[in-house]
């Protein structure tokens, strides 16, 4: 007989993961599948998405993929409606998809970097949340997790569009935690540090090592799966009183002075 009341299982619940074709989105989709959730996976990269969906299916887990550009608000509504119809509901939304475009403030490409970054990294979250809300309101375990970044807590040179968007993700998370709290919907965000994904693969290995040794308490880049576990923790029924938080999963990057 259990000594406590709250469940640490997402089994049977439906999760909607954006950016599931690669990196942390892929790791999140696979982790939730392993934990018994039904996975609705979306990405703009159709081939990558098909690969991930096939791998999850091969493990015998319920999954369906939708090719989707998160810049397209109408398509988001259609896909979320289809996912909820397919799985008979939607309980957990993970806003993970992202891009990183570097430009100095006076760079020729700055306006494009700003518009695209804000659109994909921040505005898209509001689109998916608005589309998913009617389903989350019917759920017994309604959870929203936004993937921000340690760039939401600090800043790196030449990344002001990305940094502003990620600060915005934390602000949006806090605002919606307050707004949706009385409905029992929790809204949290994860702030990953340096992670080995497609987004960071062009950084030479030597540069990664130097950076990690200097800045990260654990002295290394993380595997995407290590971040997915942070996301899963926010989605557990037992995480019922956690809302409005920004959780660094950064190997100690943000607390390290020297
Ligand atoms: P990734 O590049 O491996 O995966 C991002 C996915 O998002 C890709 O599959 C891509 O196709 C998809 N995507 C991009 N634009 C899209 C759009 N318009 N519509 C639909 N899908 C789209 O990158 P990673 O690292 O896994 O990134 C996941 C999240 O983590 C992002 O929000 C990123 O900003 C954040 N992050 C990454 C860090 C890192 O060190 N890799 C550190 C901190 C945060």
Confidence label for 1 from pLDDT (cuts 50, 70 and 90):
confident
Q: Using an 8 Å Cβ cutoff, are 221 and 212 in contact?
A: yes
How do residues 11-67 score in pLDDT, each as one tens digit? 999 999 999 999 999 999 999 999 999 999 999 999 999 999 999 999 999 999 999
- The predicted structure's pLDDT at residue 148: 99
Of the listed 13, 162, 211, 221, which one is catalytic?
A: 162
Q: Using an 8 Å Cβ cutoff, are 158 and 185 in contact?
A: no
Q: What is the mean pLDDT of residues 64-82?
A: 97
User: Which token pair is 172?
Assistant: 């949006």
Confidence label for 10 from pLDDT (cuts 50, 70 and 90):
very high
Using most ligand atoms within 8 A of CB, pick from 98, 155, 198, 247 the residue to mutate for ligand 1. Answer: 98
* C-alpha to C-alpha distance for 55 and 66, rounded to whole angstroms: 15
- The predicted structure's pLDDT at residue 31: 99
Backbone angle region of 219, left / alpha / beta, with phi > 0 → left and psi within -120 to 50 → alpha? left
237: Cα separation from own chain's centroid: 18
- The predicted structure's pLDDT at residue 52: 99
Q: Are strands 143-147 and 92-95 parallel, antiparallel or unpaired?
A: parallel
| Sheet of strand 63-67, all strands in order from the earlier edge strand to the far edge | 63-67, 38-43, 14-18, 92-95, 143-147, 186-192, 246-249
Burial of 28 (0-12, 13-18, 19+ CB in 10 A): buried
Q: What is the mean pLDDT of residues 232-251?
A: 98
Helices (H), the chain: 23-34, 46-58, 73-87, 110-118, 124-136, 160-180, 205-215, 224-235
* C-alpha to C-alpha distance for 103 and 17, rounded to whole angstroms: 28
How do residues 117-143 score in pLDDT, each as one tens digit? 999 999 999 999 999 999 999 999 999
Q: Using an 8 Å Cβ cutoff, are 65 and 42 in contact?
A: yes
Q: Which residues does ligand 1 sit against, CB inside 6 Å?
A: 19, 21-25, 43-45, 48, 68-71, 96-99, 120, 147, 149, 192, 194-195, 197-200, 224
- In the predicted model, what is the mean pLDDT of the chain? 98
Confidence label for 7 from pLDDT (cuts 50, 70 and 90):
very high
User: Which token pair is 165?
Assistant: 């968007």
Nearest CA to ligand 1 atom 27: 98
How do residues 184-204 score in pLDDT, each as one tens digit? 999 999 999 999 999 999 999
Among candidates 183, 163, 49, 74, which has minimal Cα distance to 127?
74
Q: What does residue 183 show for φ and ψ, rounded to 5 degrees?
A: -95, 0
pLDDT cut 90: percent of the chain above it: 100
Distance from the CA of 130 to the center of ligand 1, in angstroms?
21
Token match 């200097």: residue?
214
Distance from the CA of 116 to the center of ligand 1, in angstroms?
13
221 a catalytic residue? no
């Amino acid at each position: 007989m259990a000594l406590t009341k709250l469940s640490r299982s997402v089994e049977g619940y439906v999760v909607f993961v954006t950016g599931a074709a690669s990196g942390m989105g892929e790791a999140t989709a696979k982790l939730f599948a392993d934990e018994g959730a039904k996975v609705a996976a979306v990405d703009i990269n159709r081939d990558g998405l098909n690969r991930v969906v096939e791998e999850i299916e091969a493990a015998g887990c319920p999954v369906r993929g939708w090719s989707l550009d998160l810049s397209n608000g109408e398509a988001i509504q259609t896909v979320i409606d289809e996912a909820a119809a397919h799985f008979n509901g939607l309980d957990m939304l993970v806003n993970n998809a992202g891009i990183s475009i570097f430009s100095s403030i006076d760079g020729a490409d700055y306006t494009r970097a700003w518009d695209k970054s804000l659109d994909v990294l921040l505005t898209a979250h509001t689109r998916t949340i608005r589309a998913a809300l009617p389903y989350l309101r019917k759920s017994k375990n309604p959870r929203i997790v936004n993937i921000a970044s340690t760039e939401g807590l600090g800043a790196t040179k030449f990344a002001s569009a990305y940094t502003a968007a990620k600060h915005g993700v934390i602000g949006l998370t806090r605002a919606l935690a307050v707004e949706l709290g009385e409905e029992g919907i929790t809204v949290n965000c994860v702030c990953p540090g340096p992670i080995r994904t497609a987004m960071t693969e062009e950084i030479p290995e030597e540069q990664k090592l130097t950076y990690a040794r200097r800045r990260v308490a654990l002295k290394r880049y993380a595997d995407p799966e290590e971040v997915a576990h942070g996301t899963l923790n926010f989605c557990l029924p037992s995480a019922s009183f956690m809302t409005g938080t920004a959780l660094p999963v950064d190997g100690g990057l943000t607390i390290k002075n020297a």
